[in-house]
Amino acid sequence: MATTDTKRPSVLNTILHSLEFRMLGLALVLAIALSLLSPYFLTQRNLFNVMDQSVVIGIVAVGMTFVILTGGIDLSVGAIFGLCGVVLALALKEYPIVLAIPIAVGAGALIGLFSGVLIAIFGLAPFVVTLGVMAIGRSLSFILSGQRSLSGLPPDLQNIVYSSFLGIPANVLFLIALYAAAWLYLTYTKGGRTIYAVGSNAEAARAAGLSTTFYSILPYVVSGALSAVAVTFSLAQIMSADPLAGNQLELDAIAAVVIGGASLYGGRGSIIGTLLGVLIMVMIRNGLNLMGVSPFWQGSAIGSIIILALLAERLINWRSTR
């Protein structure tokens, strides 16, 4: 038995058949369609706008990608976003910016560590653990903030968004650097590959001597910390911390990762796919806004695109396995 007749595919063929390539195609088609529908879409100012709007969800989606690659899910990112925003605002009243930001990011990481330990060591279901953490996080952010927005933040905080390099705003530069670092980490390091292996077949990874427990916890820590980083950029723009901030952010982040081709069973997906997923989501929102479509319709549009993207992917895979 067991005759294999796989030929070596050409490099071009590999690229053309990769998921990222199809997603890039989808993003380009969307961009062209939107530029036809709205002349304003392709202006430099609007493109910067799209990038700017991608920062918050883009940062959170990196952490979500780590988590989903292990086969988990993190529903608590929105709540951590809100809570860490409040923590940052409170810390800024006492400490300088360079100390306050690490406190907020540390708080996010600690919350992630809490979820990660419960999931990886005690074997609880990620969905349930992070659902609980979401409720606790949101509740704490209301309590700490006294149920109101905290303003009066130091004006210097704005520098992390409004300084620029070569004409590119700092927050967009940070996003690009973050994606490059995350891509390198996931592709070329022991930790990154272990995260893939855990999601693909944790038992085999463990039997091969990989530190599966550590790398099952790490993604939740990264996800929590990055939620705090994201809220830092958000606060620098809005200059006030709302305890309700980041409501339903987890859904946007999960949607971006899934549109980017990651499997919710883990092991499959890429950081480039996630970036494209983020851009596709933001472009749709932006385009619909430009065209004056009611914001109430945007949910339907984004939901349909998620389902269509998954369906197309499944149909393509069906064809290729038959």
Partner 1 sequence: MTHHDTETRAAPLLSARGVSKTFGSTKALVDASIDLRPGEVCGLLGANGAGKSTLSRIISGHIAPTGGELTLGGKPFAITSTRDAFNSGIALVAQETSLAPDMNVLENIFLPDLARPGRLSFGKLRARATEILLSLGHDHALPLHAEVRTLSAAQRQLVEIAKALALDARLVIFDEPTASLSPTEVDSLFDIMAKLRDDGRALAFVSHRLEEVFAITDRVTILREGTTVAEDVATADLTQNDIIRHMVGKDIGAIYDVRRDGYAMTDAPVFEVKHLKAEPWVRDISFSVRGGEILGLGGLVGAGRSEAAEAIFGLRARQGGEIFVNGTQVHPRRPAEAVRHGLGFVAEDRRAQNIVPDLSVRENLLLAQMGRHKGFGRGFSAVREKMETLIGQLGLPADRLDQSLLNYSGGMQQKIIIARWLLIEPRILILDEPTKGVDIGTRSSIYKLLQEVADAGVAVVVISSDFEELLGICERIVVVSDGFTIADLPKDKLSEEKLTLLAAPRTSTERNTAVLRDLSDAHKGQAFWTLIDGDELICLAAVTHPDGPKTGLEPGQAVRAEDTAIPAALAARNDTFTPDADGIATALIQLKDRRGHDLGWIGLTVQADALPDIDAIKTRVARLTRPEQES
Please, are residues 259 and 277 in contact by the beta-carbon 8 Å criterion? yes
Q: Look up residue 199 and give its two tokens.
A: 């999601």
For tokens 């406190």, the residue is 103
Q: How far is the CB of 209 from partner 1 (least distance, A)?
A: 3
Q: How far is the CB of 2 from partner 1 (least distance, A)?
A: 3
Collapsing DSSP states into helix, strand and coil, what is residue 140?
helix
Q: Look up residue 77 and give its two tokens.
A: 């990112």
Question: Judged by CB, which is closer to partner 1: 210, or 230?
Answer: 210
For tokens 């993003």, the residue is 27
Q: How far is the CB of 17 from partner 1 (least distance, A)?
A: 12
Question: Judged by CB, which is closer to partner 1: 7, or 45?
Answer: 7
Tell me how far apart the alpha carbons of residues 84 and 73 are, in angstroms, rounded to a whole number.
Answer: 20
Please, are residues 100 and 88 in contact by the beta-carbon 8 Å criterion? yes
- β-partners of residue 164 are 169
Closest CA to 254 of 316, 322, 306: 306
The DSSP symbol for 157 reads G
Q: How far is the CB of 205 from partner 1 (least distance, A)?
A: 6
Q: How far is the CB of 121 from partner 1 (least distance, A)?
A: 13
Tell me how far apart the alpha carbons of residues 298 and 188 are, in angstroms, rounded to a whole number.
Answer: 38
Q: How far is the CB of 73 from partner 1 (least distance, A)?
A: 18
Please state, in angstroms and as integers, the Cα–Cα distance from residue 309 to each residue in 63, 125, 303, 313, 321, following that order: 22, 27, 10, 6, 19
Residues 6+ apart with CB under 8 A from 81: 60, 227, 228, 230, 231, 234, 245, 246, 249
Question: Judged by CB, which is closer to partner 1: 265, or 297?
Answer: 265
Q: How far is the CB of 235 from partner 1 (least distance, A)?
A: 32
Question: Judged by CB, which is closer to partner 1: 212, or 286?
Answer: 212
Point out which residues bind partner 1 (CB under 8 A). Answer: 1-6, 8, 188-191, 193-194, 196-197, 199-201, 203-211, 267-268, 321
- β-partners of residue 169 are 164
Question: Judged by CB, which is closer to partner 1: 214, or 297?
Answer: 214
Question: Judged by CB, which is closer to partner 1: 9, or 154?
Answer: 9
Phi, psi of 33 (to 5 degrees): -60, -45
Question: Judged by CB, which is closer to partner 1: 3, or 248?
Answer: 3
Q: How far is the CB of 7 from partner 1 (least distance, A)?
A: 9
Please tell me the total number of residues recorded for the chain in this structure.
Answer: 322
Question: Judged by CB, which is closer to partner 1: 174, or 196?
Answer: 196
